[in-house]
Chains A and B, each alone.
Chain A
Amino acid sequence: MKKHLLSINDLTAADALEILNTARELAKISDGPVKKLPTLRGRTVVNLFFEDSTRTRISFESAAKRLSADVINFSAKGSSVSKGESLKDTAQTLQAMGADAVVIRHGASGAAQRLADSGWISASVINAGDGTHEHPTQALLDAYTIRSRFPEFRESFDGLKVGIVGDILHSRVARSNVLLLTKLGAHVTLIAPPTLIPVGVTDWKVDVSYNLDSIINSVDVLMVLRVQSERMADSFFPSEREYSRGYGLDLARLNSLKENAIVMHPGPMNRGLEISAESADSHKSVVLAQVSNGVLVRMAVLYQLLGGAALAGEVSV
């Protein structure tokens, strides 16, 4: 595996499966009475969050702490960033403090890449969401959740049908998931109004549909995305009500899903907009499993990036 995790493209299918397998072993250990492992003792993980986040930040914090790493939380609000400090100066401050890994979330696409390539810091950089670009650990935890729900797709997602519905255009979760799921062999269909489908979608190995009802009964996994009002400067659909009627997962649509199909949502949910309360709380919903799996997958990523020697050379056993 590479030193940084910036994009799903940094991973081969084998790397991804290795992370998922590691997470599965960690799950078994985490069932025990003692949840803390000594593996990353003495290492420092910095959570560098320029955008709001609940799930991802506490998930990374909890993952690092369970591996005994020291965690420093940094959020742009209440820091010198609000006084105008640049990413470079912030990064160099973290370098001076001896960070071994920096988990960064930033509103600008490519911020994680910039931090990794800049030479400002020597730490491993983990992208926890950059603008509308990527969110690789979310895709990994989604793949983990799918794998644990569908034992028949444990080794490969060949034949698995996934529908991703909603605001594809602004969604880093969708982007990372498309890359990872297709890498593992799944067949992905993106479902959204034409205004929320990115222009470059023809280069992706996916199908596109504008009609949720026409494919809802054929998917094994339906991933519902949040409508990201904060990234929408223009109006992409006439009204929330109209969006909800065309693309929201209501009770009728929930009932037309396959018997063993699952519903996923990266959170936070806009109940009543893209997903109804009945759907969010139904037995098909794996939203909470996604959250707890997130900690395991992030532990696996931290272990893969920080658990070994800095220079990965051949060492005799």
Chain B
Amino acid sequence: MATVLDAGEIGRALKRIAHEIIEHNRGLENVVLLGIPTRGAFLGERIAQFLGEIQTPVPVGTLDITLHRDDLRLRPPRPLLPTLIPSGGIEGKDVVLVDDVLFSGRTIRAALDALGEIGRPRTVQLAVLVDRGHRELPIRADYVGKNIPTAATESVKVRLSEIDGEDSVAIVAGA
């Protein structure tokens, strides 16, 4: 297991993403952050924290995508995770989806479907802590903490202090 990002690097990457979100959207008036549970939700909170420190607080929520997955029938039923849409809604907003690892792109496809059920944002952007490649769908991230080339057999393990007790990103060799 090789650690590729430590706590300091994760913090700096998220802070840089926060700056990029402000730059790209020319401010934060219309921005809503939606983290994809489990770890994307914590990353969303952290980016929102940085945005608040740098400029102004933004609405932040979570979006569970379980019911929209395309691999539901390949696995046992999964528990649903919380969806919390900020009170202002997402209609006409610039929604930034936040996830920990961008891999096949299927999670994001499901997230786009789930969003469509809630409303019609003006734009949807994607922020990820790690882009590990191997896309199976035409999806890309707008904000990337770190690009990490991996083999398809490897897996990327993101640990966050909120649930794992520490911040780290590691590559684990495939079985």
Docked-complex contact B117 and A309, CB < 8 angstroms: no
In A1-52, which residues have CB < 8 Å from any B CB? 1, 18, 21-22, 25-26, 28-29, 32-34, 36-39
In A291-317, which residues have CB < 8 Å from any B CB? 303-305, 307-309, 312-313, 315-316
CA distance A309 to B75 in the complex (A): 5
Chain A: CB-nearest residue to B72: A307
CA distance A251 to B147 in the complex (A): 69
Given contacts A25-B82, A38-B113, contact A308 B72 (CB under 8 A): yes
Contact of B68 among A21, A37, A308 (CB under 8 A): A37
Docked-complex contact A309 and B83, CB < 8 angstroms: no
Chain B nearest CB, measured from A69 CB (Å): 13
Contact of A307 among B77, B81, B83, B118 (CB under 8 A): B77
Chain A nearest CB, measured from B170 CB (Å): 16
Docked-complex contact B79 and A21, CB < 8 angstroms: yes
Docked-complex contact A308 and B117, CB < 8 angstroms: no
- The residue in B74, B80, B83 that gathers the most chain A C-beta atoms within 10 A of its C-beta is B80
Docked-complex contact B80 and A22, CB < 8 angstroms: yes
Contact of A22 among B74, B79, B113 (CB under 8 A): B79
Provide the residues of chain A in CB contact with B81, threshold 8 Å.
25
Chain A: CB-nearest residue to B84: A28
Chain A nearest CB, measured from B72 CB (Å): 6
Interface of A (DSSP majority class): loop
Chain B: CB-nearest residue to A43: B73
Chain B: CB-nearest residue to A300: B80
Given A37-B117, A67-B67, A307-B77, list of 17 further CB < 8 A pairs?
Answer: A21-B79, A22-B80, A28-B82, A29-B67, A33-B118, A34-B116, A34-B118, A37-B67, A37-B68, A38-B67, A303-B77, A304-B77, A307-B72, A308-B72, A312-B76, A312-B77, A315-B74
CA distance A1 to B79 in the complex (A): 12
Does B86 make an interface contact (CB < 8 A)?
A: no
In which size bucket is the chain B interface? 20 to 34
Given contacts A25-B82, A38-B67, A39-B67, contact A32 B76 (CB under 8 A): no
Chain B: CB-nearest residue to A308: B77
Chain A: CB-nearest residue to B175: A316
In which size bucket is the chain A interface? 20 to 34
Given contacts A32-B117, A34-B117, A37-B117, contact A308 B67 (CB under 8 A): no
Docked-complex contact B80 and A21, CB < 8 angstroms: yes
In B98-123, which residues have CB < 8 Å from any A CB? 113, 116-119
Provide the residues of chain B in CB contact with A37, threshold 8 Å.
67-68, 117
Does B26 make an interface contact (CB < 8 A)?
A: no
Chain B: CB-nearest residue to A24: B80
Provide the residues of chain A in CB contact with B84, threshold 8 Å.
28
Does B131 make an interface contact (CB < 8 A)?
A: no
Does B78 make an interface contact (CB < 8 A)?
A: yes
Docked-complex contact A29 and B117, CB < 8 angstroms: yes
Docked-complex contact A39 and B72, CB < 8 angstroms: yes
CA distance A36 to B118 in the complex (A): 11
Does B64 make an interface contact (CB < 8 A)?
A: yes
Docked-complex contact A308 and B80, CB < 8 angstroms: no
Chain B: CB-nearest residue to A34: B117
Chain A nearest CB, measured from B34 CB (Å): 13
* 11 cross-chain CB contacts under 8 A: A25-B64, A28-B84, A29-B67, A39-B67, A67-B67, A303-B77, A307-B72, A307-B77, A308-B77, A315-B74, A315-B75
Provide the residues of chain B in CB contact with A33, threshold 8 Å.
117-119
Given contacts A38-B113, A39-B67, contact A28 B76 (CB under 8 A): no
Chain B nearest CB, measured from A42 CB (Å): 9
Given contacts A32-B118, A33-B119, contact A308 B64 (CB under 8 A): no
Docked-complex contact B73 and A309, CB < 8 angstroms: yes
Chain B nearest CB, measured from A135 CB (Å): 23
Given contacts A304-B77, A308-B73, A309-B73, contact A29 B68 (CB under 8 A): no
In B29-83, which residues have CB < 8 Å from any A CB? 64, 67-68, 72-83
Chain A: CB-nearest residue to B80: A25
Chain B nearest CB, measured from A97 CB (Å): 20
Docked-complex contact B75 and A308, CB < 8 angstroms: yes
CA distance A33 to B28 in the complex (A): 26
Which 9 residue pairs of A and B lie closest in terms of their CB atoms, listed nearest first? A308-B77, A312-B76, A25-B80, A34-B117, A307-B77, A308-B76, A39-B67, A37-B67, A32-B118
